[in-house]
Amino acid sequence: MPHSESPPESENSPIPMANVDQEQQNAVAESTTAQVPEAQQPADEDVDMADSNAVLSAPTNGTTHTSKSKAESQAETPNNQETPVPEAAASAPSESKPATGVKLEELFDEMDSDDDEFPTTKAAKREPASSPDLLSSQSDMEIDLHEASDPEVMRTFYQRLFPWRYLFQWLNHSPTPTNDFGHREFAFTLQNDAYLRYQSFTTSDLLRKDVLRLMPSRFEIGPVYTANPRDRKTLRNSSAFRPLSKELCFDIDLTDYDDIRTCCDKANICQKCWQFITMAIKVVDTALREDFGFKHIMWVYSGRRGAHAWVCDKSARALDDQKRRAIAGYLEVIRGGAQSGKKVNLRRPLHPHLVRSLDILKQHFQSDVLEAQDPWRTEDQQEKLLALLPSEQKQLVSALRNKWASSPDRPSALKWADIDSVAKTSTAKNFDTKSLLDAKQDIVLEYTYPRLDIEVSKKLNHLLKSPFVVHPGTGRVCVPIDVKRGLESFDPLGVPTVQSLIREIDEWKKPEPKEGGQEQEVEKHVVDWEKTSLKGYIEYFRSFVIGLMKDEREIKVKRERDEEGGGGGESMEF
């Protein structure tokens, strides 16, 4: 059972390992060593750089690609093997090699000022029809009619707005290319639903160029492997190709709340039911920081009805499958599907994590569940509530049912208050008030506690959609969420769409020139994403990356110092 132990205290033992039973561990070990038949693996032309042009020139009707479906592809698990780092990746030219003594903030400022990744359009000279790639020559109505998956719309987005360099810095953990990026797997979902796995790139520019050639509807990020994923079939020792590290990820989807949200269902969302995601982010983020000591956690809107967490600390990236499963189990409280009965069954006394979670969630339960969702208004709905009360308190349940039958439209907030008021007047002998209190706590957790897709968190080699890609169904960009400053005010329906961003570039007007002839300098520094509502999200992502890189550098310097200090001669005994 989860939450039977106190949170971990040491870095060497980052998680309560008692949460993982032996059968689960064996299942993970078997799944990570299972070999997929060669016939099911992607064809060489789908993964080898030399044949990428052949893929591009093929018709996009879905008949010429030999790559397998996404579900089959993600099920493939590489064999374990070790191979030397390719010299080409190690000696790749640096796109952004910092000068000695230059601060990271200054390095990023220098990147922004002169970079082909973020083209700068000069408003004074720009003519709407001058750039065939930018759809600025079209009217607002014509732009809105373009679907988000339209190749020309996506080309404009990837060419003008996507933060390629910051994505590289985030995954590379250094300004200069390393194997953290070069051996990282990327997977592309093409317009014809072909799914290309085991793509890899030494620099952000190569990734950008390949995306512009392939024009995928989205791309996903996988783990860092022991060797270049493109070379996995050329290795002599096939058991040496295995995943080394990846961010610890969490996935929250509103469809998992369909049995308790009354405002929407399936893929539909509104601001009311988005509060379930807000509650979940608060609880999970707090636990990851306070119970496990993680610091660099980035939450990203999924583009439609959910959110993803990327835990980027070095210690989190190095977790094996067993430890990832333990953390996922530690955070898992809701068990069972939509048709199951009571989904929360907890030991008492409650684990400190759950006590803290109840403190976070109790205010949301009153306003965002009882009042906004009104989950027990109908007779069928109120029966669900009565079924969650202690089974031995039949007199209480009967009294509540009779009371509510006389007031069919009684709101859920009053029905919740009725439980205590009727219990106080109970004439039953040996009425167990503690069991009623425990049941009410379980109900609060069932209606507010995070409902995680645990499978996303368990496996080191699981792929997850990249931040800043465009959701093909909604057109919304998968933007990061500033948990500290903007979680409560975040509006998923107000997230910019790729169509609106294109229009914002066209409508942008340059600032008035400052006195002293500063006009040219102002124009030089205004890149296209700074002209749009994407600016705040990219600036937040940039600051997150800077903080992560600073910590990575400090860890590296400390390790080098420890190695130098501990590598001397024999110790002297007194």
Of 470, 317, 15, 488, the C-alpha closest to 479 is 470
Coil, strand or helix at 481 = strand
- In whole angstroms, how far apart are CA 236 and each of 76, 232, 244, 494? 19, 9, 19, 52
By CB atoms closer than 10 A (0-12, 13-18, 19+), residue 543 is middle
Q: Do residues 215 and 89 lie in contact, with contact meaning Cβ atoms separated by under 8 Å?
A: no
Coil, strand or helix at 476 = strand
On the CB side of 503, CA atoms within 13 Å amount to 13
Q: Compute the 3-state secondary structure of the chain and give helix, strand, coil in percent, each to the nearest 5.
A: 45, 10, 45
Q: Where are the alpha helices (DSSP H) in 62-117?
A: 70-75, 87-90, 104-113
Q: Is there a catalytic annotation at residue 253?
A: yes
Indicate which residue of 150, 185, 442, 482 is catalytic. 185
Q: Is there a catalytic annotation at residue 251?
A: yes
> DSSP class of residue 391?
T
List, edge to edge, every strand of the sheet that includes 248-253. Answer: 248-253, 306-311, 297-301, 480-481
Indicate which residue of 251, 482, 506, 552 is catalytic. 251
Indicate which residue of 117, 231, 253, 528 is catalytic. 253
Cα distance between residue 534 and residue 508, in whole Å: 13
Cα distance between residue 118 and residue 528, in whole Å: 6
> DSSP class of residue 74?
H
| Residues designated as active site | 185, 251, 253
